[in-house]
Chains A and B, each alone.
Chain A
Amino acid sequence: GAGVSQSPSNKVTEKGKDVELRCDPISGHTALYWYRQSLGQGLEFLIYFQGNSAPDKSGLPSDRFSAERTGGSVSTLTIQRTQQEDSAVYLCASSYSHEQYFGPGTRLTVT
């Protein structure tokens, strides 16, 4: 069946511009995670959605980052006024229990 999809697969943007990254989780998965992997850095948790509960935003690095999940399905991660240090692969994962199914990621490059 269809896995987690993310779009775009690659995004190049100029410093200061806003970007939106999209995640389509596996249908029926109640939990959705956003992570990022930067060059030379490990996997960094950003935000977690579980059902209708308030999201856990504890991993968001600054108030330029926000995410929403509409209708308990598709999620959008928005980065405002992008900085060069935002360059990374942004990964989305969804799960029903503990197994996480990761999408292919969006590679964001801020020039």
Chain B
Amino acid sequence: EDKVVQSPLSLVVHEGDTVTLNCSYEVTNFRSLLWYKQEKKAPTFLFMLTSSGIEKKSGRLSSILDKKELFSILNITATQTGDSAIYLCVELGNQFYFGTGTSLTVIP
């Protein structure tokens, strides 16, 4: 059965720390992997990854996909309190498959 597993489930760090969020997947007919940041309730799109080994960057955030080992990581460097959110990993195969999210709390 296709599934997406995120780890850790929750994380508390201090401002300035670097964090790595993990997403592993088991899917048939993989098409793409997406990361979202969810603050309050509305998810904000971060990255879409389709090719293995190509890092995507946006400011302090970056993400990479490994299609051989079936995982993706989301890195956040120099974390800020505004990075506190739930980070959702979504895989698009024959349909959308959602992880349960990683809750990140950044404390001053």
Contact between chains at B98 and A45 (CB < 8 Å):
no
Dominant secondary structure at the B interface: strand
Tally of chain A residues near chain B (CB < 8 A):
21
Least Cβ distance of A56 to chain B in Å? 6
By beta carbon, the residue of chain B nearest A35 is B43
Least Cβ distance of B9 to chain A in Å? 6
Q: A35-B43, A98-B86 are in contact. Are A43 and B101 (CB under 8 A)?
A: no
Dominant secondary structure at the A interface: strand
Tally of chain B residues near chain A (CB < 8 A):
18
Could you tell me the distance between the alpha carbons of A104 and B96 in the complex, rounded to whole angstroms?
A: 8
A88-110 interface bits toward B, Cβ cutoff 8 Å, 1 = contact, 0 = none: 01010100001111101100000
Of the residues A42, A58, A105, contact of B45 by C-beta under 8 Å? A42
Contact between chains at A43 and B100 (CB < 8 Å):
no
Contact between chains at B101 and A104 (CB < 8 Å):
no
By beta carbon, the residue of chain A nearest B43 is A43
- Give the chain A neighbours of B98 by CB distance below 8 A: 91, 93, 100, 102
Q: Which residues of B are in contact with A by a Cβ distance under 8 Å?
A: 9-10, 36, 41-45, 86, 88, 90, 95-98, 100-101, 103
Q: 6 A-B contacts, Cβ less than 8 Å apart? A: A44-B43, A58-B41, A91-B96, A91-B98, A98-B86, A102-B98
Q: Which residues of A are in contact with B by a Cβ distance under 8 Å?
A: 33, 35, 37, 42-45, 48, 56, 58-59, 89, 91, 93, 98-102, 104-105
